[in-house]
Each structure stands twice: as structure tokens, then as C-alpha cells.
Amino acid sequence: MRRSGKITIAHLVARKREARPIPMLTCYDFSTARLLAEAGVDVILVGDTYAEVCLGHESTIPVSMDEMVSIAAAVRRGAPQAFLIGDMPFLSYQVDPNDAVRNAGRFLASAGCDCVKVEVDRRLAPTVEAIARAGIPVMAHLGLGPQSIHRLGGYRCQGKTAEDALRIIEDARIMEEAGAVALLLEAVTNEVARSVAERTALPVIGCVSGPFCDGQVLVLHDILGYTAGHRPRAVKCYADLHQTLTDAFSRYAEDVRQRDYPRDSDGAAMPAEEAEKLRQKLQGAE
């Protein structure tokens, strides 16, 4: 359902309180952002998955701060009323809290974002606190962190042991105390997601983390069947754009080869009198 008016963090907190689930998707361009806004997707994440689904990298790590700010600004132009979250790329916040604040500020000042997302655990609580203290809303990303994929050794569900589950639950509490305005749980067990969501007043968004979070986010290309490679098992596919687009491109290429497109009617013709003048001038020049 499409709504009018700017979406704020207060709206998201109210939705949690009222048990109204929050739909959220990634987006990387102006035109798609317009479609999401029209469809009533009020929360948009400009994810560092841009590196994989748009740039063809094998991980999210290579994408730069400049690229993220640029595409976030484009998404904002397409969805001016959405609650827009900019994904802090690798090494834009891990090295120094002052750098983290400056980079986070770029998402708000240059791209018009409402919030930034950072992949964290308790070790980065001071960084979250510094960003929040600067007046920049922070979504703390816990569980599986794609930027830490080399350390984790692959894309694996988190919170499978009691010890690991307690660590994530405690990290969520620490992030709330550090000033985060929302949490994102990626690839954690149902039990962990439920425990975190029940223990905090913050909106908790799940990414392949079961049904107990306050909202859900998925990578746009995954739900459209438009991802190169393997789609995560837990992701529901709502369209098969791979086949749809391949068929459209194939038909176009064949029309051009067979000279079925463009036809005379697809082009613009000169007025008859001007065409005759041109014919005469060309003849005179021969």
C-alpha cells in the first residue's frame, strides 16, 4: 500500500509497537527506486551488494564510498518519501571513528539518506556511539557480515550454538546502548532473531533470519530471479526476470538482424517539399 508523507524512524518504531511488519528492499538506481515507491516499499537500503549484482564483483568488498554515495543520491531522487539507508562500505568506518563519522555524514549531506548501516559487533560499539553522537542515525548490522566473509570462511548461518546465540543477543543490546536506532540481523537462527526482537524497542529487520523480526529485507535482484549465480535458498522469488529479459533482448536482436526493426513508420520523415529540395540539391552536386 502506497502512503503519502515522508517515512521517518518514528514511523518504523510505531510499526514495531503496533506489530505491523516493515517491508524493505535493496535498490541501486533512480528508475527502480521510483517503482519501489509506487509499490509501497517505504524502506530502501542502498546496499553494498551493488558490488556483486551491478558491478560483477565476487563480494561486497570492492565498492567505494564515492560509488555508494552516488547511487544513494540517485535512489533518493527516485523515492523522495522513503526511509533511505546508506550501506557503509568496507573500510569506510572500521579504521577510525572520526573517519566513520565523516563518511556516514556524506550519506546524509550528499545523498539525502535518513540513516546509515554498519556491519558491527561489540568491538565497534565506540564507532556506533561516535556516529550516533554526531546526530547520524545508525542501523547496526549483526549476524552474518558479508564484509567479514573471509574471516567467517563463507556464508554460514550464525547463532547455531547457545554460546554464539548469546553473543549476538548481547551484541544487539550493546548496539542499542551505543545509540543505534535500528538493528538488522542477517542469516541468524529463528531463536536468535526472536530473542533480539522481543528484547528491544528498536525496529529489527531480518535478512533470511526467519519470521520473527519486525521487518524483512532482501536483495532486489534475488527476488526478481535476476541474480548471476546461486540465489540463497531462503529467498522467495517473485518474478523470473532472467527469462523475461533474455527473451526481450533476443527478440530485439533478431528483429534488427531481419530488418523488422526499425521500419519506415518508426522513423521521422521530412516534409515532402523539403525532401524534394534535398533530392534536387543532391542531384545538382553529382
Q: Which of 186, 254, 274, 276 is catalytic?
A: 186
Q: What are the C-alpha distances in Å from 118 to residues 30, 35, 170, 215?
A: 23, 26, 17, 18
Round to whole Å and give the CA distance between 81 and 101: 25
Round to whole Å and give the CA distance between 235 and 43: 18
Question: Any residues with CB less than 8 A from the CB of 102 and at least 6 apart, and which?
Answer: none
Task: Answer yes or no: 176 catalytic.
Answer: no
Beta bridge partners of 44: 25, 84
Alpha carbon dihedral 119, 120, 126, 130, in 10-degree steps, equals 20
- Which positions are annotated as active-site residues? 186
